[in-house]
Chains A and B, each alone.
Chain A
Amino acid sequence: MTQRWPIILFALVMAALPLIPEIPPFWIVLLNNIGLAALVAMGLVLLTGVGGLTSFGQAAFCGFGAYTTAVLSTAYGVSPWLTLPLALIVSGLAAVVLGLITVRLSGHYLPLGTLAWSLGLYYLFGKLELVGRNDGISAIPPLQIGSWRMLDAGSIYYVIWAAVILSAVLTTNLLDSRTGRGIRALRRGHIAAEAFGVNTARAKLLVFIYAAVLAGLSGWLYAHFLRAVTPTPFGVHASIEYLFIAVVGGAGYIWGGVLGAVIVIVLKEILQSYLPLIFGGQGQLELIVFGLVLVALVHLAPGGVWPWLAGLLPFKRKPPRVDTSLHLAARPARELPPVLLQLEGARKQFGGVIAVNDVSFSVGQKEIVALIGPNGAGKSTTFNLITRVLASSAGRITVCGTDVAGTTPQEIARLGVARTFQHVKLIPDMTVLENVALGANLRGQSGTIASMLRLDRADEARLLAEAARQIERVGLKDQIDQLAGSLSLGQQRIVEIARALCVDPVLLLLDEPAAGLRHMEKQQLAALLRQLRDGGMSILLVEHDMGFVMDLADRIVVLDFGTKIAEGTPDVIKANPDVIRAYLGAAA
């Protein structure tokens, strides 16, 4: 990585700060508090800003970390260093239990659910005898290296900020990896991610645990910094404060969490120490001003301060260099059945509406089959049945000889089926390269830990090389480093095709690939699809452009109101009276 030096510079500045002669000790305390909050906020950035899961419960995880070490080091005399892994494990396990319940909740239930258990846990901390009820636990031993006891704020400062910087580096690494792309795809909904083999439920649980472990680390540090714990800092108000630290700083950015911590904690400190001087000792005036400033901040910068500040910084993120000479291991050669896809009486009912009515057809090897029909004929629903986004109500669908009933979209992807979507499902704030690389998700091996430690680089380079090659193949080489959201809709459809090609599919499902393309682009697309077929791939496509379909398809299946009304070669279909009636009305 070429952008290491800003972090090294930052680490050096932070290391030098306490050495400034006559720096007020109070500043160091403030910096410690900032570091502790930044750790929690960083987890929230990953969870909320990147993964799209809002949590009101992060302070409770700090509580798990802090109480674990407090109980073990006071009541049982365990060394604080030994309690560190235990504190992280306890907060991680708590996250597993709570996560299994909450992470599956969709939309707004998730934040509300976290709010509920966070309140429950707060009261529990205040009532349990084991953790000292509302009085908490005091006289927690300090951290100690050899005979050096870290009693003052200046010594534990180094431990706190080392943890912050280390966590920031590990988190940055994680996001810039195969697993990270899966996490970043979560915010756009689960269908696209699952179509490329991302186990979204697992990815959500992973970020949930990750954020909880960071919070637990913060809690462990907190316990040994203040050397006393009470329930108050682990309540809902604290959780909400962490959330707005992340939002104020910039919820989509790791350093936004750190910046947010600086802004919020310094602001609170200034308000608490100067407002009473100006207005006299009026009670809680700082609360009012703090609330007002908060409202004003989200009005002025709803995206947070970091993206605005990052635009002013002299160093820009360089696009990654991709070495296209690398190759992914090819899909293990296997005997493909002559019929890749077979639908036998496939049916889908939504209440009283029959969207797909006993449809049967098949796709053989090296064949382009078009599925056409007027709007609402059930074409996209058929796609969703094949890829198991929807479960069919009756009938049998087999892919490469495997019955899809009871499988998941991820397993369909693993069978070698890749698809595009009628309504483009790219991640707009990821580059074209990153979006396309998501398609190669199943072809990489590196896991979470390897990604964090950068042990995935060889694997990652091969994935990116494959993505770059597919982008070049569809003719979008010049747009490779642009954000997907900045492309025209037609180009975005082509990006989806490149992403699907990264799966190395045997069967490609394209939902209206030519919509929004110009004439020349359509011809290029047709040429590409023919070339893919001749290379051994089978294609099933939904398309409304009849000229495009008639030129390209080997066979056409026509649906009308969910029912198959015709099947045959383009010439047969063109002459079929039923098809003409369905499209143009009677007697055309």
Chain B
Amino acid sequence: MRCWRGEPALNTTILLFLLQDGITNGAVYALLGLAMVLVFAVTRVILIPQGEFVAYGALTYATLATGQAPGTAMLAVAMGLVAFAFDLFAARKAFRVKTIVRAVAVNIAFPVVVLGLTWGLAGRANTIPVNIALSLLIVAAIGLFLYRIAFQPIAHTSVLVLLIASVGAHLALEGFGLIFFGAEGLRGPAISNAMITIGQLQITGQSLAVYGITIALIVALWLFFDFTLYGKALRATAVNRLGARLVGIRTSLSGQMAFLLASVIGAISGILIVPITTLYYDTGFIVGLKGFVAAIIGGLISYPLTAVAAIVVGLVEAFSSFYASNYKEVIVFTLIIPVLVLRSLTAPNVEEEKE
């Protein structure tokens, strides 16, 4: 994410710096790539608004750190109200107390409590863990309601229609982002200001936090998908929606779960990078797309491959910003093309049943 002018020589210090920069960014791309794979597998939605989850997470955190209440908390309440209306409308033919209580708890009580906490704590208990927790709760609520409002009613339609809805959601959320956070970029406080020096290698505490949290999240996802009933239900939905419904899995719940996870992962990524680089309301889009590149290289199915690919994307970005900073983005985005060629040469000739 830096560029040098002139003809610098690559010495050990710069090499180590580039490696570290690449791996740090790569770790964040890995998280985003994983979230995209997860959402696509379960819901067939190509999650363009993933970038907004990143920006919302980062900027909500940065706003809280300045002692102000972010507008995203209000948005969560507003979206909750709409989601509640959708739930009521869907339940109009079979009014059951349990359904209504759940709808009120999830759609109204949850975001209102979060808003109350935000207003109550903003500027008062200004500690990093509290701000992180609040940011995650706010973005989680937005992610959950986004699925309920924009995608659940059209969950059965084609990938293309879902994609258009996804673009619509991205545009609307980006517009809200501008209103809430303004056109100026923000930076947030680092999770750790520690600095470790090993020979010529200087490692910041923030980078260590990025690595640690990324690894922890990947392990958590693995445990979740392999060892819990909810995780297995999500995987079942990913393989076969109809089959999953027949064995009693509520696919709408799987979708909400996937979006909840994706939004939390997005927000964490944002909180991790906002101390390192300035984020703007629309930065998320391009950061999300780089995660997406990793997800494509991973074939939208493989978690470990996506993680490895993301590190490669981060490294390529770091080194191309050193050697050809003008063409950094060109190089990163065309990186997929050889991968695609390879895939098209090895792809089995299978027929997909469509429609």
Chain A interface (Cβ within 8 Å of chain B)? 48, 52, 54, 101-102, 104-109, 111-113, 115-117, 119-120, 123-124, 127, 187-191, 240, 243-244, 247-248, 251, 282-295, 298-299, 302, 428
Contact = CB atoms under 8 A, between A and B. Distances in A.
A189 B167 contact: no
A102 B329 contact: no
Q: Please list the 4 inter-chain residue pairs (A to B) with the smallest Cβ-Cβ separation, ordered nearest first.
A: A291-B172, A294-B168, A291-B171, A288-B175
Contacts of A190: 351
A254 to B, nearest CB: 17
A294 B327 CA distance: 34
A282 B158 CA distance: 35
Nearest to B331: A120
Interface stretch (B14-22, B102-110, B339-347): B339-347
B354 A52 contact: yes
Nearest to B286: A119
Most buried by A among B165, B292, B343: B165
Contacts of A295: 149-150, 165, 168-169, 172
A244 B170 CA distance: 13
A107 B330 CA distance: 25
Given A105-B344, A119-B289, A119-B329, A302 B168 contact: no
Nearest to B154: A299
17 contacts: A101-B337, A108-B46, A112-B296, A113-B337, A116-B334, A116-B337, A120-B330, A127-B327, A243-B163, A244-B168, A288-B172, A288-B179, A291-B175, A294-B167, A295-B165, A299-B153, A428-B355
Contacts of B317: none
A287 B172 contact: yes
Contacts of A290: 168, 171-172
Interface in B312-354: 326-327, 329-330, 333-334, 336-337, 340-341, 343-344, 347, 350-354
Nearest to B290: A119
B344 A117 contact: no
B157 interface: yes
Nearest to B170: A291
Interface in B243-274: none
A290 B46 CA distance: 19
Most buried by A among B153, B160, B329: B160
Given A116-B333, A244-B167, A109 B183 contact: no
A291 B344 CA distance: 34
Contact of A113 (B164, B296, B351): B296
B178 interface: yes
Contact of A119 (B159, B167, B179, B333): B333
A189 B352 contact: yes
The B contact surface, by secondary structure, is helix
A288 B164 contact: no
A569 to B, nearest CB: 36
Contacts of A283: 178-179, 183
A52 B140 CA distance: 34
A192 B334 CA distance: 34
B1 to A, nearest CB: 15
Contacts of B178: 283-284, 287
A243 B176 CA distance: 23
B337 A117 contact: yes
B327 to A, nearest CB: 6
A101 B337 CA distance: 8
Most buried by A among B149, B174, B351: B351
Interface string B143-161: 0000001100110011111
A109 B172 contact: no
A120 B290 CA distance: 12
B311 interface: no
B173 interface: yes
Contacts of B142: none
Given A108-B300, A124-B330, A298 B164 contact: yes
A123 B327 contact: yes
B64 interface: no
A113 B340 contact: yes
Nearest to B150: A295
A116 B296 contact: yes
Interface in B163-197: 163-165, 167-176, 178-179, 183
B351 A189 contact: yes
Nearest to B289: A119
Nearest to B348: A106
A248 B337 CA distance: 30
B171 A191 contact: no
A105 B343 contact: yes
A168 B235 CA distance: 45
A292 B168 contact: yes
Most buried by B among A251, A283, A284, A289: A284
Contact of A102 (B153, B326, B340): B340
Contact of B340 (A109, A120, A287): A109
B101 to A, nearest CB: 27
A123 B333 contact: yes
B69 interface: no
B293 interface: yes
Contacts of B352: 106-107, 189
B154 to A, nearest CB: 6
A188 B329 contact: no
Nearest to B168: A294
Nearest to B159: A108
Interface in B292-306: 292-293, 296, 299-300
Contact of A101 (B158, B160, B170, B344): B344
A101 B154 contact: no
Given A116-B337, A124-B327, A283-B178, 19 more contacts: A54-B160, A54-B163, A108-B300, A111-B163, A113-B337, A115-B292, A123-B329, A244-B164, A284-B178, A285-B175, A288-B171, A288-B172, A288-B179, A289-B172, A290-B172, A293-B168, A298-B157, A298-B161, A428-B355
